[in-house]
Amino acid sequence: MGTRKPEDIRTVALVSHGGAGKTSLSEAMLFNSGSIARMGKVDDKNTVSDFDQEEHKRSISINSSLCTFSYKDKTIHLIDTPGFSDFYFEQRAPMRVVDSAIVAINATAGVEVQTRKAWDFAEEFQVATMFYVSKVDKEHADFYAALSDVQASLSGKALPLMLPIGKEASFKGVVNVIDGKSYIYKGDGTKDFALGGIPDDMNDAVRKARNELIERVVEADDDLMMRYLDGEELSNEDIEGALRKAVIARIVFPVIPGASVPNIGVMQIMDAIAECFPSPLDVPPRAAAKGESEETVDIAPDINAPFMSLCFKVMVDPYVGRLSFIRVFSGQLTSDHPIYNVSKGVEERVSSFRFMRGKEGTESKEIILGDIVAIPKLDSTTVGDTLSVKGQENRFPEIRLPKPVYSLAVFPKSRADEDKLGNAIRKILEEDKTLKFAKYADTGDSILSGMGDMHLDIALSRIKDRYKVDLETKVPKVAYRETIKKTAKAQGKYKKQTGGRGQYGDVHFELSPRERGSGITFEDKVVGGVVPKNFIPAAEKGLRESAMKGVLAGYPAVDFTPYSTARIMMSTAPRWRLR
């Protein structure tokens, strides 16, 4: 895993709208780094990061997938994320733990809906960002239109570091605007390229792009800025040195064109990751809560500090079992040392750490600052938990979960399915925290809720395939409620005469509306003590029972206050009268 020093670690999230080519890019990077012998394809269902059965069925990414590899003596933790809105939490959670991101832009479509959401995450977590304009080799692809769209819609600080040579089917390479070197590819998927100079018809475009980049880059270095303003000609080495500072400080967002399937421009993206993206030592401290108090402390990226990490994903592997994915923010840890879940107050034994490459993992006995790894069989750990060592009480803020927006009523097809349903639901909820399950007594429905129709369809498919529970679905019943709109009064009488002492009751209520969701609050305003207190609960009980079936359509009546303001008379003579 590279040199295994924090300064040589890069953590990167691949984010975009669905279909922009993230998975193909990650596949090309793995191939170029020598991690895999041949490139897979999404359509062939043989890519490293799309390994789930549901991903193969739909030919889309639905899970965030960690791919760790080495390149130029750097350990790169790359997280390929889904691009569809139903799975946006699988995109947001990784963005919480990485130091940098690549936002893929489809050259044939420009900025799309989920592209904006991905950019919002980059802004929210202030990660260093690069834009990858993908599929430049496709029909109707337009790099310059996509670049203008990014600058207008997302950020004017997005500036090209590379320009494309050719377009659509004639796209064959890229030109570095700083040093003027061109990289010409065969376009057959191999990583080899031929070095050259600036094509004659691109001199003006490269010169303009270089000047725009220099104007922005010098903002990261005061000395360089003064030299530039004094009219001094800056060397390529000066510009490249300041470029990394500018990227880390989010002064510049480099833009690189490419095509992942023919493997054009991908090597230059990998070079930019290694040379321009921040290491864990280059990012600011992370805020954490100090124990149970509201006081906050900064967790500095220090390998000699106490071990601190955050769990951002839990996955159930059919062979290994439960895998908890964590990012290390300080310190280091060996597998012979137990790990302490600060959020749960539980200590657990660690068998090993796994550097993941899709579904495959390479075991390690040690992890350090900046690493992103999976730990098998941590039973208590869930998404958002802080993992440290015994004696530490600092906790990172939990990862905010989205609220479900789509629900289905589910019910088992058979008695056998009913017996296994509880265990299946429990396990699927542990893996996917954006799913919710609840039983509603009002309607008798068992409701499964998630982020959309596709999200629930995949969850039901997993329940069937993994746990052999077949569920049918229907539209949930609506638990309607009734209420009153203005103050009203009501009276109820009870008479019974069977010989001897008779029974007689006369109850008066005044009903007033309350705020939505406030329920029913009973208030006894009988004064003077003229009625024994043991009669009051009976009146309240009768009212609450009546409220269970409203007068309009028989739905429960809610959100009002009944006042017992009038006389209550019960049983025997003498009769009590009260107000």
Residue type, 100: S
Q: How far is the C-alpha of 61 from the C-alpha of 56, rounded, in Å?
A: 9
Report residue 493: phi and psi, to 5°: -120, 150
Sign of CA dihedral 469, 472, 475, 481: negative
Q: Please indicate, yes or no, if residue 400 is contained in any of the structural domains.
A: no
Q: How far is the C-alpha of 472 from the C-alpha of 487, rounded, in Å?
A: 45
CATH number at residue 504: 3.30.230.10
Tokens describing residue 395: 């906790």
Question: How far is CA 160 from each of CA 26, 45, 211, 252, 388, rounded to the nearest angstrom?
Answer: 21, 33, 11, 10, 41
pLDDT of residue 530: 58
Query: What is the length of the chain?
Result: 579
DSSP class per residue in 234-269: PPHHHHHHHHHHHHHTTS-EEEEE-BTTTTBSHHHH
Helix axis angle for 203-217 and 236-248, nearest 10°, is 60
Domain end among 449, 474, 499? 474
Q: Please indicate, yes or no, if residue 1 is contained in any of the structural domains.
A: no
pLDDT of residue 528: 64
At 332-390, the pLDDT tens digits run 999 999 999 999 999 999 989 999 999 999 999 999 999 999 999 998 999 999 999 99
Please indicate, yes or no, whether residues 296 and 441 belong to a single structural domain of this protein. Answer: no
Please indicate, yes or no, whether residues 115 and 37 belong to a single structural domain of this protein. Answer: yes
Domain end among 395, 416, 447? 395
CATH number at residue 334: 2.40.30.10
Q: How far is the C-alpha of 151 from the C-alpha of 136, rounded, in Å?
A: 18
Please indicate, yes or no, whether residues 428 and 549 belong to a single structural domain of this protein. Answer: no
pLDDT of residue 156: 95
Beta-bridge mates of residue 130: 102
Q: Please indicate, yes or no, if residue 569 is contained in any of the structural domains.
A: no
pLDDT of residue 565: 56
pLDDT of residue 467: 87
Q: How far is the C-alpha of 152 from the C-alpha of 141, rounded, in Å?
A: 18
Please indicate, yes or no, whether residues 236 and 319 belong to a single structural domain of this protein. Answer: no
Please indicate, yes or no, whether residues 301 and 191 belong to a single structural domain of this protein. Answer: no
Q: Please indicate, yes or no, if residue 578 is contained in any of the structural domains.
A: no
Tokens describing residue 485: 């709109």
Q: Please indicate, yes or no, if residue 244 is contained in any of the structural domains.
A: yes
Per the CB < 8 A criterion, the answer to whether 11 and 280 are in contact is yes
pLDDT of residue 529: 58
| Predicted TM-score (pTM) of this structure | 0.85
Residue type, 22: K
Number of folded domains in the chain? 4
Please indicate, yes or no, whether residues 80 and 194 belong to a single structural domain of this protein. Answer: yes
Q: Please indicate, yes or no, if residue 331 is contained in any of the structural domains.
A: yes
pLDDT tens across the length of the chain (579 residues) = 444 799 999 999 999 999 999 999 999 999 999 999 999 999 899 999 998 888 888 888 999 999 999 999 999 999 999 998 889 899 999 999 999 999 999 999 999 999 999 999 999 999 999 999 999 999 999 999 999 999 999 999 999 999 999 999 999 999 999 999 999 999 999 999 999 999 999 999 999 999 999 999 999 999 999 999 998 889 999 999 999 999 999 999 999 999 999 999 999 999 999 999 999 999 999 999 988 777 899 999 999 999 999 999 999 877 778 899 999 999 999 999 999 999 999 999 998 999 999 999 999 999 999 999 999 999 899 999 999 999 899 999 998 888 999 999 999 988 888 888 888 898 888 888 899 999 988 788 899 999 999 999 999 999 998 889 999 999 998 888 888 888 888 787 778 776 666 777 777 778 888 888 888 888 777 766 556 677 778 777 887 888 888 888 888 888 878 776 545 454 443 343 333
Per the CB < 8 A criterion, the answer to whether 161 and 213 are in contact is yes
Q: How far is the C-alpha of 376 from the C-alpha of 354, rounded, in Å?
A: 8
Report residue 186: phi and psi, to 5°: -75, -30
Report the candidate in 269, 161, 240 with the shortest Cα–Cα distance to residue 206.
161
pLDDT of residue 313: 94
Domain end among 424, 440, 474? 474
415: left (phi over 0), alpha (psi -120 to 50) or beta: alpha
CATH number at residue 168: 3.40.50.300
Please indicate, yes or no, whether residues 314 and 233 belong to a single structural domain of this protein. Answer: no
Q: How far is the C-alpha of 161 from the C-alpha of 404, rounded, in Å?
A: 40
Beta-bridge mates of residue 162: 176
CATH number at residue 432: 3.30.70.870
Tokens describing residue 291: 């124990």
Please indicate, yes or no, whether residues 293 and 350 belong to a single structural domain of this protein. Answer: yes
* 3-state SS class at 447: strand
Report the candidate in 158, 195, 150, 198 with the shortest Cα–Cα distance to residue 178.
198
Report the candidate in 357, 392, 391, 397 with the shortest Cα–Cα distance to residue 374.
357
Please indicate, yes or no, whether residues 535 and 432 belong to a single structural domain of this protein. Answer: no
Please indicate, yes or no, whether residues 331 and 210 belong to a single structural domain of this protein. Answer: no
Neighbour count for residue 133 (Cβ, 10 Å): 31
Question: What is the chain's Cα-based Rg?
Answer: 32
Q: How far is the C-alpha of 277 from the C-alpha of 258, rounded, in Å?
A: 19
Please give the residue range of the domain that contains residue 326.
288-395
Beta-bridge mates of residue 557: 482
Report the candidate in 274, 205, 213 with the shortest Cα–Cα distance to residue 246.
213
Please indicate, yes or no, whether residues 244 and 334 belong to a single structural domain of this protein. Answer: no
Q: Please indicate, yes or no, if residue 135 is contained in any of the structural domains.
A: yes
pLDDT of residue 575: 40
Q: Please indicate, yes or no, if residue 234 is contained in any of the structural domains.
A: yes
* Strand locations in 318-425 (E): 321-330, 332-334, 339-341, 346-348, 353-357, 360-364, 366-368, 372-376, 386-388, 394-395, 406-412
Please indicate, yes or no, whether residues 249 and 299 belong to a single structural domain of this protein. Answer: no
Residue type, 549: K
